[in-house]
Chain A
Amino acid sequence: MAQFQELQQAIIDGKAPVSKELTEKMLKEGIRPGEFFPKAIIPAMDEVGRRMRECEFFIPEVLIAARAARASSDILRPLLVGEDAMSSAGTVVCGTVKGDLHDIGKNIVAMMLESAGFKIIDLGVDVTPEKIVEAVRANHANIVALSALLTTTMVNMKSVVEALAAAGLRDKVKIMVGGAPVTDAWAHSIGADGYGKDAPAAVELARQLATA
C-alpha cells in the first residue's frame, strides 16, 4: 500500500515530523495500529540496518531514522491492545554492565530491536547483575543484551552470566553481548549465547536466539 511505503520512506529518510503526521493521518483513515509495524516500521528499520551494514548509513543517519521510527511507534504503542496487540518478537532486557556508563551503542541496538518488534526493558548504564536478574524475572524476558565499552568493565558481563545461572534463569534466557572490546571469542569464553558486532548484527542475532 502506497501509504505504508510513504511511511517507510519517511523513516529511512529520517523525517520525524512526516512520520508522525502520516501515522496520525493513516490512523484517522481507519488503518489498524497493528498493521504499522509489519508493513512499515520493521521493513524500514531493516533497510536502515542493511544500509548501515553496507556503509551507506553511518551513526547520524541511523539515529535520525530511529528517531523518525520512534515518532510513529510512540503514537502506536498505547493503541496496541486487544485484537491489535502485536505478537512480540520477544522481550529483551538490555543494559550497559556495572562500572560502565557508555550508552550510545546500547541505545542504538535498543532502538533497532524495538523497531524490529521486540519489547525492550532498558535498564540504562552501570547495571548490576542483581538488577538484570530482577528484570528478567519481572518481565519474563527471553533475551538479555549486555553492552560494555571498556576492557576494565567487560569482565562484568561474566558476572551477569553467573548471576543468571545462580538465580536458576540461565536456561530461560539467551544472553547476547556487544561493545567495542567484545569479540565472538569473548562471548563464548564467558558462556554467552552470541555476539553482535554492530546494531544490525544484534537484530539478526536476537531474531535467531528468539526462535532457537
Chain B
Amino acid sequence: MMSSRERVRLALEHQEPDCVPLDLGATTVTGMHVDTVYRLRQALDLDAPGTPVKVIEPFQMLGEIKPDLLNALAIDTALVSGTGTAFGFPLEGWKEWQTFGGTPALVPAGFNTQPEPNGDLLLYPQGDRSAPASGRMPQGGFYFDVIVRQEPFKEEDLRVEDNLEEFSVLSDQETEHYRRRAEELYTQTDKALVLNLGALSLGNISRIPGPGLKCPRGIRDVEEWYISLGTRRDHIHKIFERQTEINLVNLEKIHAAVGNRATVAYLSGTDFGAQNGPFVSPLTYRNLFLPFHKQVNEWVHRNTTWKTFIHSCGSVWALVEDFIAAGFDILNPVQCSAAHMNPFDLKKKFGNRVTFWGGGVDTQSTLPFGSPQEVCEEVRERIRAFGPGGGFVFNAVHNVQALVPVENVLAMYRTAREYGTYPLRLESAA
C-alpha cells in the first residue's frame, strides 16, 4: 500500500495515487472545532469520557487532531506549526477549561478570560488582563472575534512600521521547534507534513486589528483597512513590501531547519472572496498582492520541494487565474456554495494547473444540517468533480464547525476513502 506521503505527493503532481488523499487538521483552515473533536474522539472510543482536548488555535477554537485520530480516520496529512497564537501568547503551560458547549478542554497558560456582565468572555493580548481585551466570545458562543482597538490617527502620522509590529524574524528557539516537530512527524509517521505559515499572510483581515498586541498602532479597523486598499495604496504597498522581506528571511530559516521533510507550505490565509464575488477587484489583487505572492512562491520553488498553498474563502473564480500566475500550487477551501464556484467548472478550467484542497462537502449547509446520506452523496459528487487525474486532496470546505453531527463527520471520511479509490467510478458523473 502506498504511504500517505507518497499519496499526497502524487496528487499534488496531478497524478492519480491509489486513492484521494485525506486531510484533517494539517492547517488551521482544514481543522475542527474543539467541541466536535471531543465528540468525535468519544464516538471513536479514543478517550475515556471527560478526557479534555487541547485547543491549538484559540481564535477559531480548533481542537488538537492527535495521531490516533488521524489514524482512525485514515488521514494522510499532519500539521507542523509554530508555538504562537493570534492573541500573542504561546501554546504552552496547559490548563483546564470548559467551552460554553460543555467540552472539557485544555488551553494555554496565557488564555486568560474575563467574563462580562452579559456573560460574554473577553480574552487578552499576550494573556495580560491589564491590557485592553482583544478577543470576545459571545455568551454561548463558539469562537473569539477580534475586538477592534483603533486609536484615532492623523493621516500625516501614519507610519508603515506601525502595521508591522506583529511581524518579526523568528527566533532560533522557534525554528528549532519547527525542526523538532517536523523531524518527529517525518520519522514516526508516514504523513505528508504541512508547514503552517498562515501568519505570513498579507493583509489578513482577522489579524489586521492586531489581537496579539497590547497597544496596536496604525490602521487597525477592518473597514478602514478595506478603504485603505483603495485610498492609501502606496502605504499598503510599503507595508506588504516590508512584510515580504521579513517573510523571506523566515522562510529561509524554516527551510534551513525543516528542509524538504515538509510536503506543503501554507503561505496565505487572507480571504479574497465573499459569498457572491471577490472582496477586491482582480486589478487590486494584481497590483497590490500578486507581486509579493509571486516573490515568495518563486523563492519556495527555487529553494525547496514544497508545494505552496493559498486559502481564500468565498467566490474567487475571478481570481484563480491570478493565484496560479502568482505561483500557488494549491487552492483551499474551494467554497463551492459561493457564486461561480461550480466544482466541475473549476476542475475543467484550472484542474491541470492547481490542486484543489478542500471542497469535499459544504460546511455551511450539508455538513451541519444535512443527513449522513446527504453528506455521502455530496462527497461522492465532489470526488467525481475534483478527483480525476489527481490534483485533489479531500477536506471539507473550511474547518468543521461546532454542533456538526459526529455521524456526518464519520460519513464524510468513510465515503471519501471508500469512493475515492482510483480508478474512480465515474458512471454517475454529472
Contacts and interface: CB of A to CB of B under 8 A. Distances in A.
Interface of A: 14, 55, 58-61, 63-64, 67, 98-102, 104-105, 107, 126, 150-152, 180-181, 183, 197-198
A100 B145 CA distance: 9
| Main secondary structure on A side of the interface with B | loop
Q: Closest 4 CB pairs between A and B?
A: A60-B230, A181-B364, A101-B145, A60-B229
A55 B226 contact: no
8 contacts: A58-B281, A58-B284, A98-B138, A150-B142, A151-B364, A151-B369, A180-B274, A183-B365
B227 A100 contact: no
A14 B140 contact: no
Contact of B223 (A55, A63, A98, A183): A63
Contact of B365 (A58, A67, A105, A181): A181
Given A14-B230, A59-B226, A63-B223, A102 B145 contact: yes
A150 B60 CA distance: 12
Interface string B352-380: 00000000000111001100000000000
Contact of B231 (A14, A59, A105, A183): A14
| Main secondary structure on B side of the interface with A | loop
B279 interface: yes
Contacts of B223: 63, 104, 107
B275 interface: yes
Contacts of B318: 55
Interface in B107-144: 120, 136, 138-142
B11 interface: no
A104 B224 CA distance: 11
A67 B403 CA distance: 38
A107 B401 CA distance: 25
B278 interface: yes
Contacts of A198: 274-276
B402 interface: yes
A107 B227 CA distance: 14
Interface residues of B, number: 34
A151 B229 CA distance: 29
B222 interface: yes
B119 to A, nearest CB: 11
A150 B364 CA distance: 8
A180 B145 contact: no
A171 B227 CA distance: 39
Contacts of A61: 230, 281
Interface in B133-186: 136, 138-142, 145
B231 A180 contact: no
A101 B209 CA distance: 15
Nearest to B338: A180
B402 to A, nearest CB: 6
B280 interface: yes
A58 B364 contact: no
Contacts of A60: 226-230, 279-280, 284
A59 B364 contact: no
A17 B145 CA distance: 33
A12 to B, nearest CB: 13
Interface in B190-240: 222-223, 226-231
A34 to B, nearest CB: 29
A151 B279 contact: no
Contacts of B389: none
A176 B120 CA distance: 27
Contacts of B284: 58, 60
B138 A101 contact: yes
